[in-house]
Chain A
Amino acid sequence: MALFDVFDIAGTGMRAQSLRLNVTSSNLANAENVATRPEDAYRARHPIFASFMTGNDFGAAGTFVTPGATGGAESTGVRVLGIVESSAPPVRRYEPDHPQADEDGYIYATNVNPIEEMVNMLSASRSYQSNVEVLNTTKDLLLGTLRLGQ
């Protein structure tokens, strides 16, 4: 039953988007961190998404799609390949009075771009919502199927 696979697919989407939201909030929380050395500065983190087949081939059970004709690629979830740190250089600021300033009077702030992070946050929450919408619709369809003939 292909409709049950939709729960798995939307589930992977929600998991990936909530991880993205998590990473974004971590970036925003550390946006004001400063460090004495550039290598100690917090760097913005971003998840890498990739699609993957959830391993269900409805062609094998279905009547109208011959197995192998579609390659089973119709059930495609999303997964997080990993989280990478931004390679942008940390922002160097001259603040000789700062307790964390180095001997030349510089501190190193994070390379987090708050605007970029806000956009990421909005995009992640919208995508999460659209997955929830898919889940709810599918649930209604399945409940309707259960009541078939009544």
Chain B
Amino acid sequence: MSSLFAGAIDRHFGIHATALEFRSARSQVLASNLTNADTPNFKARDLDFAEVLKAESGSLMPASVRMARTHQRHIAVGGSDPDAGPLLYRNPFQPTLDGNTVESEVEQGKFAENAVQYQTSLMFLTRKIRGLQLAIKGQA
């Protein structure tokens, strides 16, 4: 009974809980880039939202139709490099002599974008929680 409710509440929050987690992980990656803006040979990285979304929507499917990797050497669906993951390297617009690929203005833009998206996810969750509270109390 209780697991039924837990599943229902999980479904009610939908993708937003995972999205919040993704945004917080991405802000960590982008902060690393900004902090290493002056470090020689540092390569800027970023998390690929599309990749994560694909993996997440796959996990929402019933297990019977999902493609399972039962061995670590199995080739993942949609990609031949199982270790690539969503964490990729950024291609710089302008190369530098010291091998650093961080472009502060790009990273600051991405960081601000990510912060706004984080707050958007927070807002969605807040509204969902209010909806639940309304349903529980039965009055506005």
Contacts and interface: CB of A to CB of B under 8 A. Distances in A.
Do the two chains bind? yes
Interface of A: 1-3, 5-6, 9-10, 12-13, 16-17, 20, 49-51, 58, 62-66, 68-70, 73-78, 123-124, 126-127, 130-131, 133-134, 137-138, 140-141, 144-145, 148-150
B91 interface: no
B24 interface: yes
A130 B34 contact: yes
Nearest to B128: A149
B87 A74 contact: yes
Contacts of B104: 126-127, 130
Contact of A2 (B27, B34, B82, B119): B27
21 contacts: A2-B25, A5-B28, A9-B32, A49-B36, A65-B52, A65-B85, A74-B47, A76-B42, A78-B35, A78-B39, A126-B104, A130-B37, A130-B108, A131-B34, A133-B108, A134-B31, A137-B115, A138-B31, A140-B115, A144-B122, A145-B122
A62 B21 contact: yes
A50 B39 CA distance: 6
A131 to B, nearest CB: 6
B27 A138 contact: yes
Interface residues of B, number: 41
A70 B31 contact: no
B95 interface: no
A12 B86 CA distance: 25
Residue among B21, B31, B42, B47 with the most chain A CB within 10 A? B31
A76 B122 CA distance: 26
B115 A74 contact: no
B126 interface: yes
B129 A149 contact: yes
A23 B112 CA distance: 31
B52 A6 contact: no
Residue among A17, A50, A64, A137 with the most chain B CB within 10 A? A64
A74 B27 CA distance: 10
Given A65-B52, A73-B87, A77-B36, 6 more contacts: A6-B28, A49-B39, A65-B85, A69-B85, A78-B35, A149-B130
Contacts of B42: 51, 76
A13 B111 CA distance: 16
B64 to A, nearest CB: 21
Contact of A58 (B28, B36, B118): B28
Interface in B56-77: 56
Contact of A9 (B20, B28, B37): B28
